[in-house]
Structure 1
Amino acid sequence: MDKKKNGIPKLRFPGFTGAWEQRKLGEVAKRVTRKNKNLESTLPLTISAQLGLVDQISYFDKRIASLNLSNYILLKKGEFAYNKSYSNGYPFGAVKRLNDYDKGVIPSLYIAFDPDNIQVESNFMETYFETSLWHKEVSTRASEGARNHGLLNISPTDFMDINLMVPKLKEEQILISNFMHNFDALITLHQRKLDHLKEQKKGLLQKMFPKKGEVVPEVRFPGFTNAWEQRKFFDNIEKVIDFRGRTPKKLGMEWSAEGYTALSALNVKDGYIDFTADVHYANQDLYDKWMVGNDLYKGQVLFTTEAPMGNVAQVPDNRKYVLSQRTIAFNVDKTKVTNDFLAVLLRSQNVQHTLKSLASGGTAQGVSQKSLSQLKVIVPINPKEQQKIGDFFKQLDSLIALHQRKLDHLKLLKEGLLQQMFV
Structure 2
Amino acid sequence: MADQITGKAPRIRFKAHSEPWADEKIGDVLAEKRRPIVLEDDQRYELITVKRRNEGVVSRGHLFGRDIMVKNYAELKAGDFVISKRQVVHGATGIVPPALDCAIVSNEYLTAVDSERLLTEFLAIVASLPAMRRKFFLSSYGVDIEKLFFDADDWRKRNVMLPDVQEQSRVGQFFRQLDKLLDLHERKHEKLAELKAAMLQKMFPKPGSTAPEVRFRGFSEPWVEKKLKNIGTFNPKEVLPECFEYVDLESVVGTEMVGHRTEMRTTAPSRAQRLARKGDLFFQTVRPYQKNNHLFNLPDENYVFSTGYAQIRPQDDGSFLLSLMQRDEFVRVVLANCTGTSYPAITANALSDIFVLIPSADEQKKIGAYFFNLDKLIARHAAQVCKLQQIKLAFLDKMFI
Normalising by the smaller structure, the TM-score range is 0.7 to 0.9
- The one-letter code of the counterpart of 2:112 is D
**Given the superposition, is the C-alpha separation of residues 393 and 200 from structure 1 closer, same or farther in structure 2, using an over 3 Å criterion?**
same
Please name the residue that 2:322 is paired with: 343
Preserved contact between residue 300 and residue 331 of structure 1 (Cα < 8 Å): yes
Deviation at 1:9, TM superposition (A): 0.7
Q: Which runs of 5+ in 2 are unaligned?
A: 237-242
**Given the superposition, is the C-alpha separation of residues 290 and 128 from structure 1 closer, same or farther in structure 2, using an over 3 Å criterion?**
same
Deviation at 1:398, TM superposition (A): 1.4
Please name the residue that 2:159 is paired with: 163
Deviation at 1:344, TM superposition (A): 0.9
**Given the superposition, is the C-alpha separation of residues 287 and 207 from structure 1 closer, same or farther in structure 2, using an over 3 Å criterion?**
same
Preserved contact between residue 279 and residue 314 of structure 2 (Cα < 8 Å): no
Deviation at 1:8, TM superposition (A): 0.4
Inter-partner Cα distance in structure 2 for 1:322 and 1:106: 56
Preserved contact between residue 272 and residue 397 of structure 1 (Cα < 8 Å): no
Deviation at 1:273, TM superposition (A): 1.9
Please name the residue that 2:239 is paired with: none
TM-score by length of 2: 0.81
Query: Which of 274, 282, 292 is the equivalent residue of 2:258?
Result: 274
Deviation at 1:35, TM superposition (A): 6.0
Preserved contact between residue 132 and residue 419 of structure 1 (Cα < 8 Å): no
Query: Which of 393, 396, 417 is the equivalent residue of 2:371?
Result: 393
Inter-partner Cα distance in structure 2 for 1:295 and 1:164: 56
Inter-partner Cα distance in structure 1 for 2:340 and 2:122: 47
Deviation at 1:157, TM superposition (A): 2.1
Deviation at 1:32, TM superposition (A): 5.3
1:182-220 C-alpha deviation (Å, 9 max, x unpaired)? 111111121222222223222322222122221112332
Query: Which of 310, 328, 338 is the equivalent residue of 2:309?
Result: 328
Please name the residue that 1:247 is paired with: none
Inter-partner Cα distance in structure 2 for 1:158 and 1:37: 30
Structure 2 residue 51 is the aligned partner of structure 1 residue 53: no
Inter-partner Cα distance in structure 1 for 2:264 and 2:19: 52
Please name the residue that 1:314 is paired with: 295
Inter-partner Cα distance in structure 1 for 2:68 and 2:334: 40
Preserved contact between residue 282 and residue 312 of structure 2 (Cα < 8 Å): no
Please name the residue that 2:27 is paired with: 26
Please name the residue that 1:413 is paired with: 391
Preserved contact between residue 34 and residue 73 of structure 1 (Cα < 8 Å): yes
Greater Cα shift, 337-346 or 153-162? 153-162
Inter-partner Cα distance in structure 2 for 1:357 and 1:50: 39
Structure 2 residue 255 is the aligned partner of structure 1 residue 230: no
**Given the superposition, is the C-alpha separation of residues 197 and 151 from structure 1 closer, same or farther in structure 2, using an over 3 Å criterion?**
closer
Q: Which runs of 5+ in 1 are unaligned?
A: 242-257
Deviation at 1:91, TM superposition (A): 6.8
Inter-partner Cα distance in structure 1 for 2:66 and 2:301: 61
Preserved contact between residue 200 and residue 327 of structure 2 (Cα < 8 Å): yes
Query: Which of 187, 191, 196 is the equivalent residue of 1:192?
Result: 187
Q: CA RMSD in A?
A: 3.5
Preserved contact between residue 75 and residue 112 of structure 1 (Cα < 8 Å): no
TM-score by length of 1: 0.77
Q: Per the alignment, in what secondary structure is the counterpart of residue 403 of structure 1?
A: helix
Query: Which of 282, 300, 310 is the equivalent residue of 1:302?
Result: 282
Preserved contact between residue 47 and residue 53 of structure 1 (Cα < 8 Å): yes
Please name the residue that 1:103 is paired with: 102
**Given the superposition, is the C-alpha separation of residues 205 and 43 from structure 1 closer, same or farther in structure 2, using an over 3 Å criterion?**
same
How many percent identity over aligned positions? 24
Inter-partner Cα distance in structure 1 for 2:103 and 2:75: 6
Inter-partner Cα distance in structure 2 for 1:51 and 1:166: 23
Please name the residue that 2:174 is paired with: 179
**Given the superposition, is the C-alpha separation of residues 395 and 183 from structure 1 closer, same or farther in structure 2, using an over 3 Å criterion?**
same
Inter-partner Cα distance in structure 1 for 2:363 and 2:10: 59
Please name the residue that 2:234 is paired with: 239
Inter-partner Cα distance in structure 2 for 1:307 and 1:355: 7
Q: Across the two proteins, how many residue pairs are aligned to each other?
A: 384
Inter-partner Cα distance in structure 2 for 1:92 and 1:284: 45
1:53-77 C-alpha deviation (Å, 9 max, x unpaired)? 11123xx98x998651424565443
Inter-partner Cα distance in structure 1 for 2:198 and 2:25: 52
Preserved contact between residue 44 and residue 65 of structure 2 (Cα < 8 Å): no
**Given the superposition, is the C-alpha separation of residues 228 and 129 from structure 1 closer, same or farther in structure 2, using an over 3 Å criterion?**
same
Q: 1:64-83 to 2 correspondence within 5 Å? A: 68-71=69-72, 74-83=75-84
- The one-letter code of the counterpart of 2:400 is F
- The one-letter code of the counterpart of 2:102 is K
- The one-letter code of the counterpart of 2:255 is G
Deviation at 1:319, TM superposition (A): 5.2
**Given the superposition, is the C-alpha separation of residues 121 and 333 from structure 1 closer, same or farther in structure 2, using an over 3 Å criterion?**
closer
Deviation at 1:324, TM superposition (A): 4.5
Please name the residue that 1:254 is paired with: none
Q: Per the alignment, in what secondary structure is the counterpart of residue 396 of structure 1?
A: helix
1:146-177 C-alpha deviation (Å, 9 max, x unpaired)? 6xx54443422223334222112x22111111
Preserved contact between residue 210 and residue 218 of structure 1 (Cα < 8 Å): yes
Deviation at 1:7, TM superposition (A): 1.3
